[in-house]
């Protein structure tokens, strides 16, 4: 019995491998997905090599050069205290990536654990977790995040905490749904019947099969996480000056909009392009990883 489970496991693994290969092939066929990949790849490079790529320090002020329009010395112009906007946008990519990976990473962790508990054991604990997640989903995300961030005090860390608090139910739901299906599949029922330890069933059989729905949800969410965080910073609850966070930069640039269009325009463009990249990647991930869509009309 054990042997056959292992065999079916190997089979599944090789079918997963070919799924990835098929995924790569369809990625090559979709120019928009490639564009998404290029944008995010570029962002990661910017974030890693920010100190060598940025022409100036993101915080160095130069009052003699304040509010100078885009030129060959300052490609994106300078802000109200003479800081180079290009350098600040480049350094801002670090903050954006940090927010996205922390929020999505933490919510995946919390959400997946709760989703597995909920779906695998069912009963009152399932009922409890799902009702709590219902309540969190009943709030418009931004409003609840604002309330939590306001109560905790304005800072980037608190924005991340607030967003994790409101975001986990999505992953708990996705994972629970997947676990409910998996629980009834023959080889898992069989594994339980022969007395395989539950932690082993979860780690070896349940968890690996939750990876792709969670991954789809995560790539689709990245853009929204970035937009929400930028909005919170713009309103004043997130990153505080002089942090080169894109939303906070727009908030400062807003006061100089009439005569200095570049100040708020370039950080906004950075947000737009990054979120487009995440969304294109999310669509591609869904098309590639979601088996229901693979043969569908979409």
Partner 1 sequence: MNLLTYIVKRVFLIVPIVLGVLAITFLISHIVPGDAAQLMAGPRATPEIIERLRHEHGLDRPLYVQFGIYIAHVFRGDLGKSILTRRPVAADILGYFPATFELTTTALLLAIIVGIPLGIVSAVHKDKVLDQFSRLTSVIGVSMPIFWMGLLLMLVFYVRLGVLPGPGRITGASPSHITGLFILDSVLTGDWRALGDSLLNLVMPAFVLGNAVLARVVRMTRSSMLDVFGQDYIQTARAKGLIERAVVYKHALRNALIPTLTVVGLAYGELLGGAVATELIFAWPGMAHYVVRSMTSLDFPAIMGVTMVIALIYILVNLLVDISYAFIDPRIRY
- From residue 13 to residue 32, the character string flagging contacts with partner 1 as x (rule: CB under 8 A) and all else as - is -------------------x
Decide: helix, strand or coil at residue 241: coil
- Whole-number minimum distance, CB 160 to partner 1, in Å? 15
Size of the site for partner 1 (CB under 8 A): 48
Closest CB to partner 1 among 67 and 144? Answer: 144
CA pair distance 95, 244, nearest whole angstrom: 8
Closest CB to partner 1 among 23 and 236? Answer: 236
Of residues 45-104, those binding partner 1 (CB under 8 A): none
Options 77, 279, 284, 288; binder of partner 1; rule CB under 8 A: 279
Of residues 224-253, those binding partner 1 (CB under 8 A): 227, 230-231, 234-237, 247, 250
Options 264, 284, 288, 289; binder of partner 1; rule CB under 8 A: 264
- Whole-number minimum distance, CB 47 to partner 1, in Å? 19
Alpha helices in 54-195 (DSSP H): 85-121, 123-137, 141-152, 156-183, 186-193
- Whole-number minimum distance, CB 14 to partner 1, in Å? 30
φ, ψ at 58 (rounded to 5°): -70, -15
Neighbours of 13 (CB within 10 A): 10
CA pair distance 147, 131, nearest whole angstrom: 21
Of residues 151-190, those binding partner 1 (CB under 8 A): 151-153
Question: Cα torsion at 292, 26, 106, 9 (round to 10°)?
Answer: 70
Q: What is the maximal distance between C-alpha atoms in the chain? A: 78
Options 47, 103, 148, 182; binder of partner 1; rule CB under 8 A: 148
Taking the alpha carbons at both ends of the chain, their separation in whole angstroms is: 40
φ, ψ at 62 (rounded to 5°): -150, 90
Burial class (CB in 10 A: 0-12, 13-18, 19+), 144: middle
- 147 touches partner 1 by CB under 8 A: yes
123-137 helix and 85-121 helix, angle to the nearest 10 degrees: 150
Options 38, 57, 109, 139; binder of partner 1; rule CB under 8 A: 139
Q: Which of 33, 23, 45 is nearest to 279 (CA)?
A: 33
- Whole-number minimum distance, CB 268 to partner 1, in Å? 3
Closest CB to partner 1 among 213 and 267? Answer: 267
- 283 touches partner 1 by CB under 8 A: yes
- Whole-number minimum distance, CB 24 to partner 1, in Å? 22
- 123 touches partner 1 by CB under 8 A: no
Closest CB to partner 1 among 116 and 226? Answer: 226
Options 5, 12, 261, 294; binder of partner 1; rule CB under 8 A: 261
Contacts by 192-200, CB closer than 8 A, 24 or more apart = 194/1, 194/2, 196/5, 198/120
User: Which stretches of the chain bind partner 1, using CB under 8 A?
Assistant: 32, 131-132, 134-136, 138-144, 146-148, 150-153, 223, 227, 230-231, 234-237, 247, 250, 254, 257-258, 261, 264-265, 268, 271-272, 275-276, 278-280, 283, 296-298
């Amino acid at each position: 019995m054990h042997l056959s489970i292992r065999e079916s496991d190997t089979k599944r693994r090789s079918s997963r491998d070919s799924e990835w290969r098929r995924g790569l092939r369809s990625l090559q066929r979709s120019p928009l997905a490639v564009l998404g990949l290029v944008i995010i790849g570029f962002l990661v490079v910017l974030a890693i090599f920010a100190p060598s790529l940025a022409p100036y320090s993101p915080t160095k002020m130069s009052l003699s050069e304040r509010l100078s329009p885009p030129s060959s010395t300052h490609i994106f112009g300078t802000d109200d205290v003479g800081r180079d906007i290009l350098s600040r946008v480049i350094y801002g990519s670090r903050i954006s990536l940090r927010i996205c990976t922390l929020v999505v990473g933490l919510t995946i962790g919390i959400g997946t654990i709760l989703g597995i508990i909920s779906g695998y054991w069912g009963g009152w604990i399932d009922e409890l977790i799902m009702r709590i997640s219902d309540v969190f989903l009943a709030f418009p995300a931004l409003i609840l995040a604002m309330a939590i961030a306001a109560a905790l005090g304005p800072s980037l860390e608190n924005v991340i905490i607030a967003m994790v608090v409101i975001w986990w139910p999505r992953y708990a739901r996705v994972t629970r749904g997947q676990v409910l299906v998996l629980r009834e599949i023959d080889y898992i029922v069989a594994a339980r019947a022969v007395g395989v330890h539950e932690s082993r069933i979860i780690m070896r059989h349940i968890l690996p099969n939750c990876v792709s729905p969670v991954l789809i949800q995560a790539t689709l969410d990245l853009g929204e996480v970035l937009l929400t965080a930028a909005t919170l910073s713009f309103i004043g609850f997130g990153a505080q000056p002089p942090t080169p966070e894109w939303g906070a930069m727009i908030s400062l640039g807003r006061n100089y909009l009439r005569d200095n269009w570049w100040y708020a325009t370039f950080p906004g463009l950075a947000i737009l392009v990054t979120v487009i990249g995440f969304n294109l990647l999310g669509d591609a991930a869904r098309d590639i990883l979601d088996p229901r869509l693979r043969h569908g009309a979409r």
